[in-house]
Structure 1
Amino acid sequence: MQEFSETDVQDKTRAFFQKVFGWMFLGLIISGAVAFATYTLPGFSSLILGNPFILIVLVILQLGLVLLLTWLLRRISATTAVVLFLVYSFITGLTLSTVFIVYTLGSVVAVFFIAAAMFGVMALIGFVTRLDLSKLGVILFMGLVGIILALIVNIFLRSQAFDFIISIIGVIIFTGLTAFDVQRIKKGSLKLSDDPKQQMKASISGALSLYLDFINLFLQLLRLFGKRR
């Protein structure tokens, strides 16, 4: 009886992660397609990327959508959560189109696969490890805050050496956060009810966390290894 219960739990966890990664991959596909389309469409890239005001508005919208999905998830419907995540992925694609202007297409593709490999390894570690990564998560979050502050400072310093150090630390933090978030999502899935709406909202929340981990890992690696035009 106990063996059946453990198998049932494993099946439930596996099914939940299929939803999480399904939404995450859909978000990445949308962002990638929008980013490339924005870069290649005549006039559209200059309209979006050539106007600082539009870029600032897009970044503010990104932050607002993340806060909505993070803080108000329990209050919104499952459908609203899905729509907000898809809209966020679309807007992120618009802002990500800048990477095609700064870096060569070949280096963007190469770094993407490097990031995917690193993300996959750390996600697997987070899923199978028996070590409690909760304390590590606190340290990584503090490091994330530190990186944000350092980036703000470097806007004024304009130091390439400082930027290089920030990127290295960023890679370490986001690889660690990938393992931490996967374990956190796994633990949370065991406490979920069988309500489809709650399952959907939780899978969107998990997808958003892993999406952010991957995108930021990709961007940090691109700053380190991307070949500028």
Structure 2
Amino acid sequence: MADYRTMNAGAATRTADIDAGLRAHMNKVYGTMSVGLLITALAAWALANLSVSAVPSEFQIGANEYLTGLGQTLYNTPLKWVLMFAPLAMVFGFGAVINRLSAAAAQTYFYAYAAVMGLSLSSIFLVFTGMSIAQTFLITAIAFAGLSLWGYTTKKDISGWGAFLIMGLIGVIIASIVNIFLGSALMEFVISVVGVLIFAGLTAYDTQRIKTDYIAHAHAMDTEWLAKSAIMGALNLYLDFVNLFMFLLQFLGNRE
């Protein structure tokens, strides 16, 4: 009986340790993601402000608003394609080099990626009003929190969603690239609807996957792997948030 009680006590201790470790791991994920979002917002706002001036120029974008020389270079030359696709190239690069980077280097890479993403998204400040951007961000934050909380707490296994959501994501990316050249308003609306649904699902799916991955590997206590896992989890949730925000902005944003 004493051995049985000792075994039960040991199992309970291990469970408590895993629970505490999981909370710390998720706090690391959300904290890193939040810093990344802050960097993105500041980079986007700063570049947009450097790109717009009240001084009249050839390129007027609104009432008493004109592109500066920097703005013209970024948004009216082929450099705009570099700015647009740089984050996509960096995120694929991240996946390729993550295993060769230290945890500290991986975190630095993530923050650099967040800054480049901010530069890429800076044009939204030229298209939508600041108030509608702020309102959409708040709505996205509330929706994201609810979806992520559900993914973390649900007892339902939603791992089967992964293949379907990734297929849908690939379809949205291809359709978005095609619509850059077509400029179809109807296609843009459909892409936005599907995009919101896909990234809502991915938010819950990725949250549960981060949790289950930690539980599956926590016994090894590989601190380097766990640190990198937290950064990759932050990257996944960061992408879910940013894309959910961008698709919602198509519905809720008021254009200048």
Give the TM-score normalised by the residue count of structure 2.
0.84
The structure 2 residue matched to 1:22, chosen from 19, 26, 31, is 31
The structure 1 residue matched to 2:82, chosen from 57, 73, 76, is 57
What SS does structure 2 have at the residue aligned with 1:124? helix
What SS does structure 1 have at the residue aligned with 2:78? helix
Mark the CA change 1:56 to 1:137 in structure 2 (over 3 Å): closer, same or farther.
Answer: same
Amino acid at match of 1:104: T
| Structure possessing the higher relative contact order (Cα contacts under 8 Å, 6 or more residues apart) | 1
* Deviation, structure 1 residue 45: 5.3
The structure 1 residue matched to 2:221, chosen from 194, 211, 214, is 194
Determine if contact 1:65/1:84 at 8 Å carries over to the other structure: no
* Deviation, structure 1 residue 198: 2.2
What SS does structure 2 have at the residue aligned with 1:73? helix
User: In structure 1, what is the equivalent of residue 119 of structure 2?
Assistant: 94
Which deviations, in whole Å up to 9, do the C-alpha atoms of 1:95-125 show, x marking residues without a partner?
Answer: 1111111100010000001111110011001
With 40-49 and 170-179 compared, the bigger mean Cα shift is at 40-49
Consecutive unaligned residues of structure 1, counting only runs of 5 or more, are none
The structure 1 residue matched to 2:22, chosen from 8, 13, 31, is 13
2: distance between equivalents of 1:82 and 1:52?
A: 32
Determine if contact 1:49/1:98 at 8 Å carries over to the other structure: no
* Deviation, structure 1 residue 139: 0.7
The structure 2 residue matched to 1:150, chosen from 160, 171, 175, is 175
User: In structure 1, what is the equivalent of residue 248 of structure 2?
Assistant: 221
Amino acid at match of 2:95: T
* Deviation, structure 1 residue 20: 0.7
Identity percentage over the alignment? 40
What SS does structure 2 have at the residue aligned with 1:83? helix
User: In structure 2, what is the equivalent of residue 168 of structure 1?
Assistant: 193
The root-mean-square deviation of aligned C-alpha atoms, in Å, is 1.7
* Deviation, structure 1 residue 48: 5.6
In the alignment, structure 1 residue 34 sits paired with structure 2 residue 43: yes
Amino acid at match of 1:198: W
The structure 1 residue matched to 2:102, chosen from 73, 77, 92, is 77
Which deviations, in whole Å up to 9, do the C-alpha atoms of 1:64-102 show, x marking residues without a partner?
Answer: 221122233112222221121111011111111111111
Aligned residue-pair number = 229
User: In structure 2, what is the equivalent of residue 141 of structure 1?
Assistant: 166
Determine if contact 2:74/2:83 at 8 Å carries over to the other structure: no
1: distance between equivalents of 2:28 and 2:178?
A: 39
Which deviations, in whole Å up to 9, do the C-alpha atoms of 1:31-51 show, x marking residues without a partner?
Answer: 001111111135475156334
2: distance between equivalents of 1:211 and 1:96?
A: 14
Mark the CA change 1:88 to 1:227 in structure 2 (over 3 Å): closer, same or farther.
Answer: same
Amino acid at match of 2:19: Q
What SS does structure 1 have at the residue aligned with 2:98? coil
Determine if contact 2:132/2:254 at 8 Å carries over to the other structure: yes
The structure with the largest alpha-carbon Rg is 2
2: distance between equivalents of 1:93 and 1:142?
A: 26
Amino acid at match of 2:180: I
